[in-house]
Amino acid sequence: MTTKLANRESTEPQPASRVAKEKHPRPNRWMHWINFPLLTIMIWSGIRIYWADRADPFGVGIGLIGWHWFDLFPDAVNERLDLNQKLARGMAFHFAVGWLFTINGVAYGLYLWRSGGWRHLVPEKESLKDAAKVTARDLRLSKAPLPPQGRYNGAQRLSYSLILFLGVIAILTGLAIYRPTQLSFLTFMFGGYEMARSIHFFVTLAFIGFFVVHVLQVFLSGFGNFWSMVVGYELEEAEDD
């Protein structure tokens, strides 16, 4: 009987062992989560500033090169979100938190440079082609196997590099709007005050779009991927010796 049980146990498949592997270093996680409330407050306060300078009584006029494109929010929405008639408070929050956002961004840039982490973010020669394959898979348009990847795939390299670049543009255009006289060279570089203001706003819309897609991708990839950004580690199948 003992021999039969031993033989049965030896033939049954054993559960694979799992090990914790570091996926996100601590500086990445800290600066990532610090940016979340900072960007939220900046977007909220920025809407207050734009609302106070609206082009008509129905919302914020958004235009570019002299063309009025669309209006942002009607009065009912502005009042419900407590955005109306709060220009001074919006500017105070926006400028104060903007400096914190800038400091966090500079610290992250220095960390990427010193640690060599920029090598995982900068797009490679095949990143554009890989990004198209990843996007097709995410949209369920293709079942082709994904190309080999390192820490980030081609789509992530392109999107993360783009959002870092847009962060720099947001800071520079913000300074051009904040001090158009003292920093006139910045204002001139972006085509004048109104152009810098429009670019600043459209960069904000790009941030919102990135945030929505980013959260959706994290949700689709599973709880483990999200939790790894909290604790820094992800459970993986142990390799056989």
pLDDT in tens, 85-107: 677 888 888 888 989 999 998 99
- pLDDT score recorded for residue 103: 92
d(CA 196, CA 171): 11
- Do 112 and 130 belong together in one domain? no
Which of 89, 116, 143 is the endpoint of a domain? 116
Evaluate whether residue 223 is within a structural domain.
Answer: yes
Evaluate whether residue 65 is within a structural domain.
Answer: yes
Evaluate whether residue 1 is within a structural domain.
Answer: no
- Do 144 and 76 belong together in one domain? no
Range of the domain at 150: 125-232
- Do 45 and 81 belong together in one domain? yes
Place of tokens 């005050």: 193
Query: pLDDT > 70: what percent of the chain?
Result: 66
- Do 187 and 163 belong together in one domain? yes
Q: CA 119 → CA 11, 152, 157, 169, distances in Å?
A: 46, 10, 10, 21
- Do 216 and 134 belong together in one domain? yes
User: Token pair for residue 215?
Assistant: 């959260």
Q: Is it the case that residue 152 has pLDDT exceeding 80?
A: no
- Do 156 and 85 belong together in one domain? no
User: Token pair for residue 84?
Assistant: 């109306």
Q: Is it the case that residue 71 has pLDDT exceeding 70?
A: no
- Do 192 and 107 belong together in one domain? no
- Do 225 and 129 belong together in one domain? yes
Which of 116, 137, 154 is the endpoint of a domain? 116
- Do 46 and 129 belong together in one domain? no
- Do 27 and 111 belong together in one domain? yes
Cβ pair 45, 97 in contact under 8 A: yes
Place of tokens 């820490």: 151
d(CA 128, CA 110): 26
- Do 135 and 107 belong together in one domain? no
Output the pTM of the full model. Answer: 0.72
pLDDT in tens, 105-137: 899 989 888 888 888 778 877 777 777 777 777
Q: What is the mean pLDDT of the chain?
A: 75
pLDDT in tens, 201-222: 889 888 888 888 888 777 776 6
pLDDT in tens, 33-50: 888 889 888 888 887 777
Count of domains observed in the chain: 2
Which of 116, 149, 171 is the endpoint of a domain? 116
Q: Is it the case that residue 8 has pLDDT exceeding 60?
A: no
Evaluate whether residue 7 is within a structural domain.
Answer: no
